[in-house]
Structure 1
Amino acid sequence: MAARDYGQHCGVTRALELVGERWALLIVRDLLVGPRRYGELAAGLPRIPSNVLATRLKELQEAGILRRAPRSRVIVYELTPYGRELEPVVLAMGAWGFRALGEPRDEQVLTPDALTMTLRTTFRPEVAAALPATAYAARVGHAGLLIHVHGPSLAVTRGDGDADLAFTAGPGIHRVIAGELAPDDAITSGAVEVLHGRADLFGRFAATFHLAA
């Protein structure tokens, strides 16, 4: 199945043969958020050529990492239990890569699924447990994310709803999470725009989602 054969009998080598091809882990990242239709996967990875997406889905399915499943008369792709075992790997890679993000380039975008995984990666349950339960609504492009923090528990879902604080989120929000941009400065500079709610709650957000040094 693997497009590459590294000629080594090793677990790391085999993992790279299964998910090391370009775009494969990003497909897994988005499916860790939830099942997706083909079009939803394509929309979440705007630069992936359609033939490459089709090839990767076929390869990942043959490897037992994902499967096609009927949902409400449509076909979605979802991770198998074997595929879901990649979640701690993806989260660890996200935390590792976060430290080298640097400034976003003009052509770089932030997708709802990417932000969801960033929030999972940087969530600090020990901090959240000492804070009041809070609901945030983040506007990511044309999509909305509802972020519910209740004690040490985190739930992130697509959609709109009641929230204590609603704000826009673009690539610059990573600077807040990294501790490079203070919450007040993020609002003042326009990196984050408060849509409604108490602006001071963005400081609570920044404390709850923070990449520990």
Structure 2
Amino acid sequence: MSRRSYDHYCAVSRALDLVGDRWSLLVVRELSAGPRRYSDLFADLPGISTDMLATRLKGLERDGVIIHRRNGMRSSYELTDTGRSLRPVLDALAAWGIPLLGDRTPTDAVRAHWLAFPLGRMVAAIVPEGTVTMHIGETVLHYVITAEGVTHHDGPAPSPDRELRLDLAEATEIATGARSLTSIV
């Protein structure tokens, strides 16, 4: 398949040439916490077709945003350094998009880990440096907070400085600003 381009001599345009297709940044979002198998990506991207997911993965791999690791019968996808450098972009998009969420409709899909970016800012406000394991229902992730910023990762931290437990409703209220994280901890 030939690559589409805006053909603008512009940094935003060139970035969008690589990650501006529908689903591309959501694939990057899914891989931000760590490697994932194809089946996990498909399960956590409701609405994407298998053909579209395969196309996006091939394109992101071709462009050096992700790498496909094969280990015998098992394989997974993960972000490259180039892909990881998109984290601040996703964080900024999450911050910009929070006011657009409004009330959840009955047809809205939701995954607890989709709240990781907005919750990261709230966690960093109460733990300026260190690690925090966050339980959102059955989902477990952890944050690493340093002077350089906040990253989130799958699973619990080996030795967290703090451990937080929220249900999905509480996590949503905190992520959207309807409730303060300090009211829970």
TM-score by length of 2: 0.78
- Structure 2: how far apart are the matches of 1:2 and 1:123? 42
Sequence identity percentage: 32
- Aligned residue for 1:33, secondary structure, equals coil
2:184 to 194, 198, 203: 203
Q: Which residue of 2 aligns with 1:173?
A: 171
Q: 1:136-179: CA deviations, max 9, x gaps?
A: 4221xxx42155789998765337xxx96644215x73333333
What amino acid is aligned across from residue 124 of structure 2 in structure 1?
P
- Structure 1: how far apart are the matches of 2:89 and 2:40? 23
Structure 1 residues 150 and 27: alpha-carbon distance in aligned structure 2, compared to 1, 3 A threshold: closer
Structure 1 residues 154 and 90: alpha-carbon distance in aligned structure 2, compared to 1, 3 A threshold: closer
1:158 to 155, 162, 169: 155
Q: Which residue of 2 aligns with 1:14?
A: 14
Q: Which residue of 1 aligns with 2:78?
A: 78
What amino acid is aligned across from residue 79 of structure 2 in structure 1?
L
The gaps in structure 2 that reach 5 residues or longer are 157-161
What amino acid is aligned across from residue 102 of structure 2 in structure 1?
G
Q: How many residues align?
A: 179
Q: Which residue of 1 aligns with 2:43?
A: 43
Native 8 Å contact 1:138 1:147 kept in 2: no
- Listed as ranges, the matches of 1:121-200 within 5 Å are 122-129=121-128, 136-139=134-137, 143-147=138-142, 156-158=153-155, 166-170=165-169, 173-181=171-179
Q: Which residue of 2 aligns with 1:209?
A: none
Structure 1 residues 146 and 84: alpha-carbon distance in aligned structure 2, compared to 1, 3 A threshold: closer
Structure 1 residues 146 and 63: alpha-carbon distance in aligned structure 2, compared to 1, 3 A threshold: closer
- Aligned residue for 1:64, secondary structure, equals coil
Q: Which residue of 2 aligns with 1:98?
A: 98
The gaps in structure 1 that reach 5 residues or longer are 184-200, 205-213
The structure with the largest alpha-carbon Rg is 1
What RMSD over aligned residues (CA atoms) do the two structures have, in Å? Answer: 3.3
- Aligned residue for 1:36, secondary structure, equals coil
- Aligned residue for 2:32, secondary structure, equals helix
Measured after TM superposition, the shift of residue 58 of structure 1 is 0.7
Native 8 Å contact 1:112 1:144 kept in 2: yes
Q: 1:27-75: CA deviations, max 9, x gaps?
A: 0011111111100000010110111001101111111111111357511
What amino acid is aligned across from residue 29 of structure 2 in structure 1?
R
TM-score by length of 1: 0.69
Measured after TM superposition, the shift of residue 126 of structure 1 is 4.1
